[in-house]
């Protein structure tokens, strides 16, 4: 484990400048995502999670600012203006929402660790898609971000970014 991983791969202590993992799994740098849109950071920088579970939670307190009709992606806007796009799986938009569920609506205030989307990991894999989930910071609102890109992540608990 690298230096940042040793420092930040820990559970959140409630600090307002910490952003946590949206899912359980193994952290990876964006460059290792097998899709050039993500690996070349065309939408922004962030972290990827090779997910092991089926639940995706809010990475921070904020407002659910966007939810794709297919539920494979959502946006969260923090009070400080930082915007995070969470994209569940690669090419999973093609499933047209099959295997995804959410009870929330755009505009809903959310707390760190609150469930946003539940998905059927086995269905995604069975249809030939990769469930890797990306956390993309589409607007850092002037904040400098430091990412944790290795180690194991626990949804709602493991710090993956600090600003």
The DSSP secondary structure of 70-132, one letter per residue, reads: TSSEEEEE-TTS-EEEEEEEESGGGGTTTTEE----TT-EE-TT-EEEEE-HHHHHHTT-EEE
Tokens of residue 1, six digits:
């484990």
Average pLDDT rounded to a whole number, residues 139-158? 97
Specify whether the CB–CB gap between 136 and 87 falls below 8 A: yes
Average pLDDT taken over every residue of the chain: 94
Residue-wise pLDDT for 119-146, tens only, equals 999 999 999 999 999 999 999 999 999 9
Query: What is the per-residue pLDDT for 9?
Result: 53
What distance in Å separates the CA atoms of residue 19 and residue 153, rounded to the nearest whole number? 12
Of the candidates 2, 22, 13, the residue with the CA atom closest to the CA atom of residue 114 = 22
Sorted by where each starts, the structural domains of the chain and their CATH numbers stand as 3-162 (2.70.70.10)
Nearest CA-CA partner of 48 in 33, 61, 62: 33
Q: Is 29 helix (H, G, I), strand (E, B) or coil?
A: strand
Strands 73-77 and 62-67 turn out to be antiparallel
Considering the candidates 87, 112, 121, 155, report the single residue annotated as catalytic.
87
Give 15's pLDDT tier (boundaries 50, 70, 90).
Answer: confident
Instruction: Give yes or no: 87 in active site.
Output: yes
Q: What is the pLDDT of residue 4?
A: 46
pLDDT at 36 over 70: yes
pLDDT, one tens digit per residue, over 51-77 is 999 999 999 999 999 999 999 999 999
Specify whether the CB–CB gap between 158 and 138 falls below 8 A: no
User: Per-residue confidence at 16, pLDDT binned at 50, 70, 90?
Assistant: confident
Query: CA-to-CA distance for 7 and 48, rounded, in angstroms?
Result: 18
């Amino acid at each position: 484990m690298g230096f940042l991983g040793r420092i930040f791969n820990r559970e959140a202590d409630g600090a307002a400048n910490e952003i946590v993992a949206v899912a359980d799994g193994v952290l990876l740098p964006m460059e290792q995502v097998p899709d050039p849109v993500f690996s070349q950071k065309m939408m922004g920088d962030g972290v990827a999670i090779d997910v092991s579970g089926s639940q995706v939670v809010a990475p921070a307190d904020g407002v659910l600012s966007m939810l794709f009709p297919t539920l494979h992606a959502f946006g969260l806007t923090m009070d400080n203006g930082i915007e995070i796009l969470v994209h569940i799986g690669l090419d999973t938009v093609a499933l047209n929402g099959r295997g995804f569920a959410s009870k929330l609506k755009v505009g809903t205030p959310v707390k760190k660790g609150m469930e946003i989307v539940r998905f059927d990991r086995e269905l995604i894999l069975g249809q030939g898609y990769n469930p890797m989930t990306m956390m993309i910071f589409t607007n850092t609102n002037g904040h400098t971000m430091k990412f944790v890109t290795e180690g194991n992540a626990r949804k709602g608990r493991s710090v993956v970014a600090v600003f």
